[in-house]
Structure 1
Amino acid sequence: MDLLEREAVLQDLTGHLHEAVSGPGGVALVRGEAGIGKTTVVHRLAQMADPHIRVLVGACDPLSTPRALGPVMDFAPRLGRAVRTALTRALAGACRADEVFDRLLADLSVCPSLLVVEDVHWADEATMDLLRYLARRLPEVPALVVATYRDDEIGRTHDLTALLGTLARYPWVHRHDLAPLSRRAVARLAAGHAIDAEELYQVSAGNPFIVAEILAAPAEAIPATVREAVAGRLAGLSAATRTVVDVLAVLGSRVSLPLLTGILPDAEGALEEAVACGVVRTDGQVSEFRHELTRRAVLEAVPAARRLRVHRDVLAAMRSGPVAVDDLALLADHAEAARDPAAVLEYAPAAAARAAALGAHREAAAQYARSLRHADRLPPGRRAALLEGHSRACLLSSRLDDGIASRRAAVGLRHELGDRLREGDDLRWLSSWLWPAGRTAEAGRTGLDAVRVLERLRPSRELAGAYLNLCQLACYEHAPVPVAAAYAEKATALGERFGDAGVVVQARFHTAAARLLCQEDGWEDCEQAVASAIAQDLPVDAALLTVIMAWFSALRRDAARTTAAVGRAEAYCLDRDLLTYLLWTQAWDSWGLLNRGLWPQAAGAAQKVLRHPGSPPVVRALALTVLGLVRARQGKGQVWPLLEQAAGLVDPGCLLDTGPGWEARVEAAWLAGDQERVQAEARRGLAALEERSHPWLSGPLACWIRRAGGTPPGVPAAEPYALELAGDWAGAAEHWERLGCPHDAALARLSGDAGALDQALDAFEGLGARPAVAYTRALMRARGVRPVRRGPRAATRANPYGLTNRELDVLKLLNEGLADAEIAARLYITPKTAGHHVGAVLNKLGVHNRHEAARKLHHSERR
């Protein structure tokens, strides 16, 4: 387990140790709940201590009769003979413990020491006295005493509470709290595991022990170690307290004292004991388990009949008075557990609607699913409404298959009922979510069906949404601009008529986006639409538009805009718990990193998306494509299985529309030296684009045909591709550099003169593009360009990260905090060249920014 979010405490403890061993000494108290990492921190402190510091480590044990001076017995072998003799005599009753204290103090006076006493909450009386004795006299000796304890297990009457009161008067006593891990830290630990990081955080509450045990046994609902640890902590509780703990486990999270005493009238006294053992905590009139997984472990042991009885008692108690909206979810939980379907259908739909209104889409999906489990007795109309709510919540929380299935069922029910308005609206929603599922052909057919159904009725808000959907599909599939514009015009007119601000702002956005994709002006109009959606507080509309801006920025290979758009979309989606849109953003971020030449980071971002079980097929296809392309460019194996897996997830048109799908296949063939496949794949891609207009998709395919020795057809091509196709390799390379795409710039230079080839080789080497390096060297030899480089110089080979001498110079200047222009001035190179060198350094070091690069330099120098 990595030592995360403990750096500050460790740094403080190291500072205390340095001060103490040079005098005067001191005490450091490290406190936190069980499993929070106290032992890990103090052991790391011991490892980091200078060799001349003697390290003494002892621990108190949870024995029914604690060992007298148990910690001293642990580290006695490292003490002087006088202390050992006194300890032996004291344990035999031949002398008082005071003599041991005096001898230990004298021993500490002659040798700088770190003395660790772990789990002081289990200490015997003599050990408590020893700490009192030492704490008062430590300023006289070169030693730091570190004591750890569980602050969740000491109450007002605990012996340790009295000791802490004594220590409070000494200024040389320092206190350090270890807090639970943050969401970010838990997500970092979960990286590489097929587990939902947010769920892991929720059930563990950031407790490192619980996190580690879940990750070690992901298939177990409750890891055996956690179950045993909980059982051990409960074993000594009284029968009354165990009853309270069991009832709390059944009741769920945050139980009010009035509710608890309504079921167990004499619960208050037993509750204090439960709090003292560290399993439960109280906050005012509310009690809860410290960790959700602990509650589940306790609940697992409660007999089923008892659980059923408690749930029924709670349901009756909560329904006896006015029901607060905040209690709807809890009532739904207890209603289902009490096996009361009527109560479930009374509270679960209301709880789902409230969660959806608050933006808690995962909770809404769960409550709708609960409602549907008991909905057989409902009329078809009510059942259809529940399916529609469930579908929307699932789609926004990235449970695409469940959402689509519920929407299909709703379409069937509305059709049976003859409710054409809602049937058409359900068809529209089904169409809009079939597209991210990769079923683009079905999405188009279903979208047209929605319009046909709704056009037979009077004009409506629902018809406005159906026209908008066709506008969106036309934009995403890169249909000619007039097609998207025609649907947008109809959507806007109806949206304005019926006051649907979301339809209006999205129609304007997608009209501009269609122009933008065809290389016409439209960027500012798109940004204005995004700003309007945010200003009008249209969260789902705004989230979609911010994500599309990230997508289109990456599609146009604009590094600066992609970085900004991804940052905005991620922040917006995280704040509003819009998981589906967040995953899309992260996939397009991996593509943007690929374009910038940050290939290890691109692969890491793609793998993160692939590890998430909720990633939609389109998102997975894009991430697989990025991962395959990174492997191809680095000369690694298993490229085509990744690309074929991506192609198998979605319709062929969707693979082409969303990003580098077909282009990646062409480039992989070129890097493998298969020129025939280059031409075949590229022409297949162009054929699929025949009735569409997207210069950023057709342009690269035409360039690859040219690079493979073929004659490309005349197709729309974005400016850098058009320049290369016209023979202006220098203009193309310069354009790519302005966009921040070093790999594309190097590819354009392959058509250039000797100097251009040398620059291309330099760039490919810096990126770690081994197949492209080999190709460029062969091309240089064929053209008689000398000297041909024979690989990295000796200094480069000796460097652990493979940095050239120039890159080492750049890294050192990065450490000084210099910008590209300042680096360029120092090294007498252009700012663009400096930027390329900076990108190469970050790429080789496998870091994301300049600060991390400088830190890696310090680490290598220390080694």
Structure 2
Amino acid sequence: MDLLEREAVLQDLAGHLQAAVTGPGGFALVRGEAGIGKSTVVHRLARSADPRVRVLVGACDLLATPRPLGPLMDFAPRLGRPVRTALTGALAGTCRSDEVFDHLLADLSGCPSLLVVEDIHWADEATMDLLRYLARRLPGVPALVVATYRDDEIGRTPHLTALLGTLARYPWVYRHDLAPLSRRAVARLAAGHTVDAEQLYRVSGGNPFLVAEILAAPTETIPATVREAVAGRLVGLSAPTRTVVDVLAVLGHRVSLPLLTGILPGAEKGLEEAVTCGIVRTEGQITEFRHELTRLAVLEAVPAARRLHVHRQVLAAMRSGATAADDLALLADHAEAARDPAAVLEYAPAAAARAAALGAHREAAAQYARALRYADGLPPDRRASLLEGHSRACLLSSQLDDGVASRRTAVRLRHGLGDRLREGEDLRWLSNWLWPAGQAVEARRIGRDAVRVLEGLPPSRELACAYLNLCQLACYGHAPVPVAASYAEKAIALGERFGDAGTVVQARFHAAAARVLGEGDDWEECERAVSDAIAQELPVDAAQSAVVMSWFTALRRDVARNSEAVSRAEAYCLDRELPTYLLCTHAWAGWGLLNQGSWPEAAGAAQKVLCHPGSPPVARAVALAVLALVRARRGRGQVWPLLEQAAGLVDSDCLLDTGLEWEARVEAAWLAGDHERVQAEARRGLAALEERDHPWLSGPLACWIRRAGGTPPPVPAAEPYALELAGDVAGAAERWDGLGCPYDAALARLSGGDAPALHQALAAFEVLGARPAVARTRALMRARGVRPVRRGPRAATRANPYGLTNRELDVLKLLNEGLSDAEIAARLYITPKTAGHHVGAVLNKLGVHTRHEAARKLHHSERR
């Protein structure tokens, strides 16, 4: 497992070691809960130590009778003969322990050393004395002593408490705490695994051991290793304490002391032992397990009859007094576990509504689902309300299939009740979420049905939302700009009339976005709309607009704007816990990285989407297309299976809407030399686009027809495509350079065919590692008598020690030659502006501020 969020501690320890080996020595304490990574950190320190430093590692063990001086015995073979002889005598009773300590101190004085003692919370008294002895005298020896211990075990080990009190006097003793991993770190570890990163963080609490075990056994509710580890910690508890722990496991995640003592009188003493052993912790009047996974492992071992009895006791006790809003979720949990359907239907919907109001959409979906399990006997209108709440919560928590299914059922119920207003609203919701589900055709049909139903009623806020939905679908489907504008005007008029700020701001945004895609220049209005949604605290509206900005900047190949839009959308969706929108943003991020030539990073962003079990089909389709293009452009196999999988996830309209998948099919055929398929796929795409007005969709397809030797029909084409179609390949390439798209610029130059353009295209393809394009360019150069043909770069030239892209590595080497941005641009056949972007990216990735520092990094890498 990667060493995440431990770099600062490791760097500090390395600094202590460097200072200690030249004198004076020091003592470092590394503490944290079980599984937090103490051993990983100190072992990494030991492996990275200078070869001239002697590394001594020993450990204390959890034994009924601890080994006297156990850690010293572990590393004794690496010590001098006097220490070994004294230690043997001490263990045999023929030598005093203080003589052993004196010999060890003398031994350390003669050789720079790192002495690691792990798990001192289990140490025997003699080891504690040894550490106390060394700590006082370390300033006189070239050694660093590093000791690890569990801070959740201190209460059980008075000897450790006494040692820590002694060490507190010495200024050369350093203390380092290891905290649980953050959400972001857990998500990074989960990348490449088919697990829900948020759920992983919740049950593990960020504990690295638990994270690793769950990832190693993702299909197990509780990994066997975790179950065994928990059982090992419970085995030494007294019977009363084990009862307290079992009851706490049944009661739930956070338990108030009055509730615990009400169920289990006299629980305080057992609770104290449970806290001391580190299984649970208390904060004021609240007790909770340190990790949810630990609670689940304990709960699994509690007999079913005992669980049922406790749940019924808790439910009765909690219902006897006033119900606080914070208790609703707990009441719903106990109601279901107590097998009380009426109580479930009383508390679960209320808990779901509260969770939704707080933005906890995953919890809201779970509570609505709980209520629906007992809702068969409810009146249709009440059941429909539960389904509507469940649908919205599911859709916002990346449970798309469940959300769509609940909304379909709600539509049928509302129709049967003759509730036309709610039926129209449910149709609008269904239409809105069918598009990310990849069902664009049905989304548009149902969207029109929603408007038809609501237009037969008096004007309403619901009709404003239905008009907005058609505006959004027109924008996403690249309908002519006046169509989206017409729906936007109607939505804004009704939204203002009924005070619906979210509808107004989204209508403004999507009308502007439609103009942007139609080769207009209304970015400022899009930005204002997103800023207004954020300022007015409209999280769903702001997130949706921010994500659309990520998509449309990628579609327009605007690298600079895409990077900014993606960063904003990812941060916003993470903060508001909106995984559906976040996963879509990851997909557009992959496309943007593909455009700028950062192909490994593009594949990484795509994998984030594909590894998440809740990724919407439209995001998965885009991610698959990104991966397919990375493979195709690098000359690797298994391209078409990925493209066919993408096509199978969404309908043909949605395949065109997103803008990448159809073009990816055409490019993959071209790279494989199948010009007949290029023509067929491109013409099919253009035929489907006849009713649409989007130059960024039709333009590339027309260019691919031209590149494959055909004559494309006249179609709307964005500027760089229009220039190439008109024969101005130099102008097209310059425009692509300005957008920051080196691969597209090279393709344009390749289609020009003159010698300088071909040389520039070849250089760019080689830097990118685009092997099929390199081969095509060389073949064309040979056919046209263009000489000389450059050789491809050596493997050593392509090596990448700092996580740079191939283009950035090339820029770094030119920085080493002292070239300016303009000179770099000339060498790489790019614009100075693009060169400046690459220089900034190189400095950022290397963590330096000047070109001189970047060059020094390159020299250091080459020496290694």
TM beyond 0.5:
yes
- Is 1:383 the counterpart of 2:378 in the alignment? no
Task: Work out whether residues 447 and 470 of structure 1, in 8 Å CA contact, stay in contact via their aligned partners in 2.
Answer: yes
Cα distance in 1 for residues equivalent to 2:77 and 2:438: 68
Task: Work out whether residues 682 and 704 of structure 2, in 8 Å CA contact, stay in contact via their aligned partners in 1.
Answer: yes
- 1:67 is matched with 67
- 2:779 is matched with 778
- TM-superposed deviation, 1:232: 0.8
Higher mean displacement: 295-304 or 572-581: 572-581
Cα distance in 2 for residues equivalent to 1:304 and 1:805: 60
- Trace 1:263-274 onto structure 2 (pairs within 5 A): 263-274=263-274
Task: Work out whether residues 192 and 611 of structure 2, in 8 Å CA contact, stay in contact via their aligned partners in 1.
Answer: yes
Partner SS for 1:169? coil
Aligned AA (1:766)? V
- 1:44 is matched with 44
- TM-superposed deviation, 1:861: 3.3
Aligned AA (2:777)? T
- 2:314 is matched with 314
Task: Work out whether residues 190 and 215 of structure 2, in 8 Å CA contact, stay in contact via their aligned partners in 1.
Answer: yes
Aligned AA (2:410)? A
Cα distance in 1 for residues equivalent to 2:69 and 2:492: 81
Matched positions, count: 858
- 1:539 is matched with 539
- 1:341 is matched with 341
1:798–1:278 Cα change, 3 Å: closer
Cα distance in 2 for residues equivalent to 1:652 and 1:793: 43
1:142–1:231 Cα change, 3 Å: same
- Trace 1:75-154 onto structure 2 (pairs within 5 A): 75-154=75-154
- Trace 1:741-820 onto structure 2 (pairs within 5 A): 741-752=741-752, 753-792=754-793, 796=797, 810-812=811-813
- TM-superposed deviation, 1:429: 0.8
Partner SS for 2:603? helix
Aligned AA (1:685)? G
- 2:576 is matched with 576
1:614–1:854 Cα change, 3 Å: farther
1:854–1:504 Cα change, 3 Å: farther
Partner SS for 1:751? helix
- Trace 1:575-594 onto structure 2 (pairs within 5 A): 575-594=575-594
- 1:701 is matched with 701
- TM-superposed deviation, 1:809: 7.2
Cα distance in 2 for residues equivalent to 1:552 and 1:785: 39
- 1:481 is matched with 481
- TM-superposed deviation, 1:420: 1.2
Cα distance in 2 for residues equivalent to 1:6 and 1:290: 20
- TM-superposed deviation, 1:815: 7.9
- 1:430 is matched with 430
Task: Work out whether residues 760 and 828 of structure 2, in 8 Å CA contact, stay in contact via their aligned partners in 1.
Answer: no
Higher mean displacement: 644-653 or 800-809: 800-809
- Trace 1:590-609 onto structure 2 (pairs within 5 A): 590-609=590-609
Task: Work out whether residues 792 and 804 of structure 1, in 8 Å CA contact, stay in contact via their aligned partners in 2.
Answer: no
- 1:642 is matched with 642
1:442–1:830 Cα change, 3 Å: closer
- TM-superposed deviation, 1:151: 1.1
1:202–1:794 Cα change, 3 Å: closer
- 1:677 is matched with 677
Cα distance in 2 for residues equivalent to 1:823 and 1:733: 19
Partner SS for 2:711? coil
- TM-superposed deviation, 1:490: 2.3
Partner SS for 1:215? helix
Task: Work out whether residues 598 and 839 of structure 1, in 8 Å CA contact, stay in contact via their aligned partners in 2.
Answer: no
- TM-superposed deviation, 1:860: 3.1
- TM-superposed deviation, 1:492: 2.3
Task: Work out whether residues 156 and 277 of structure 2, in 8 Å CA contact, stay in contact via their aligned partners in 1.
Answer: no
Task: Work out whether residues 332 and 347 of structure 1, in 8 Å CA contact, stay in contact via their aligned partners in 2.
Answer: yes
Partner SS for 2:155? coil
- TM-superposed deviation, 1:715: 0.7
Kindly provide the CA deviation profile for residues 154-183 of structure 1, in whole angstroms up to 9, marking residues without a partner as x. Answer: 118621101111111111111111111122
- TM-superposed deviation, 1:804: 13
Task: Work out whether residues 397 and 580 of structure 2, in 8 Å CA contact, stay in contact via their aligned partners in 1.
Answer: yes
Partner SS for 2:309? helix
- 1:232 is matched with 232
Aligned AA (2:683)? R
- 1:7 is matched with 7
- 1:155 is matched with 155
Higher mean displacement: 46-55 or 643-652: 46-55
- 1:285 is matched with 285
1:466–1:612 Cα change, 3 Å: same
- Is 1:554 the counterpart of 2:554 in the alignment? yes
- 1:662 is matched with 662
Cα distance in 1 for residues equivalent to 2:761 and 2:283: 65
Cα distance in 2 for residues equivalent to 1:513 and 1:840: 28
1:840–1:139 Cα change, 3 Å: closer
Aligned AA (1:420)? R
1:803–1:471 Cα change, 3 Å: closer
Provide the alpha-carbon RMSD of the alignment: 2.5
Cα distance in 2 for residues equivalent to 1:794 and 1:472: 48
Partner SS for 2:114? strand
Aligned AA (2:609)? V
Cα distance in 1 for residues equivalent to 2:756 and 2:774: 15
- TM-superposed deviation, 1:279: 1.1
With structure 1 as the length reference, what TM-score do the two structures score? 0.95
Task: Work out whether residues 766 and 837 of structure 1, in 8 Å CA contact, stay in contact via their aligned partners in 2.
Answer: no
Task: Work out whether residues 435 and 443 of structure 1, in 8 Å CA contact, stay in contact via their aligned partners in 2.
Answer: yes
Cα distance in 2 for residues equivalent to 1:55 and 1:797: 37
Partner SS for 1:144? strand
- Trace 1:204-215 onto structure 2 (pairs within 5 A): 204-215=204-215
1:338–1:717 Cα change, 3 Å: same
- TM-superposed deviation, 1:791: 2.6
Structure 1: unaligned runs, 5 residues or longer: none
Partner SS for 2:376? helix
1:299–1:463 Cα change, 3 Å: same
- 2:628 is matched with 628
Cα distance in 1 for residues equivalent to 2:768 and 2:776: 14
Cα distance in 2 for residues equivalent to 1:411 and 1:795: 62
Cα distance in 2 for residues equivalent to 1:728 and 1:694: 21
- TM-superposed deviation, 1:862: 5.1
Task: Work out whether residues 803 and 841 of structure 1, in 8 Å CA contact, stay in contact via their aligned partners in 2.
Answer: no
Q: Percent identity?
A: 82
- TM-superposed deviation, 1:473: 1.3
Partner SS for 1:572? helix
Partner SS for 1:62? coil
Cα distance in 2 for residues equivalent to 1:859 and 1:282: 50
- TM-superposed deviation, 1:795: 7.5
Kindly provide the CA deviation profile for residues 104-150 of structure 1, in whole angstroms up to 9, marking residues without a partner as x. Answer: 22222222222221111111111111111221122222222211111
Aligned AA (1:381)? D
1:551–1:246 Cα change, 3 Å: same
Cα distance in 2 for residues equivalent to 1:460 and 1:413: 21
Cα distance in 1 for residues equivalent to 2:74 and 2:489: 81
- Is 1:712 the counterpart of 2:726 in the alignment? no
Structure 2: unaligned runs, 5 residues or longer: 849-853
- Trace 1:433-582 onto structure 2 (pairs within 5 A): 433-582=433-582
- 1:406 is matched with 406
Cα distance in 1 for residues equivalent to 2:860 and 2:623: 32
1:81–1:367 Cα change, 3 Å: same
Cα distance in 2 for residues equivalent to 1:716 and 1:739: 20
Task: Work out whether residues 600 and 805 of structure 2, in 8 Å CA contact, stay in contact via their aligned partners in 1.
Answer: no
Partner SS for 1:377? coil
Higher mean displacement: 637-646 or 185-194: 185-194
Aligned AA (1:511)? A
1:793–1:155 Cα change, 3 Å: closer
Cα distance in 1 for residues equivalent to 2:609 and 2:219: 21
Aligned AA (1:577)? E
- TM-superposed deviation, 1:51: 2.3
Cα distance in 2 for residues equivalent to 1:629 and 1:840: 22
1:794–1:627 Cα change, 3 Å: closer
Task: Work out whether residues 26 and 172 of structure 1, in 8 Å CA contact, stay in contact via their aligned partners in 2.
Answer: yes
Task: Work out whether residues 181 and 206 of structure 1, in 8 Å CA contact, stay in contact via their aligned partners in 2.
Answer: yes
Cα distance in 1 for residues equivalent to 2:308 and 2:329: 18
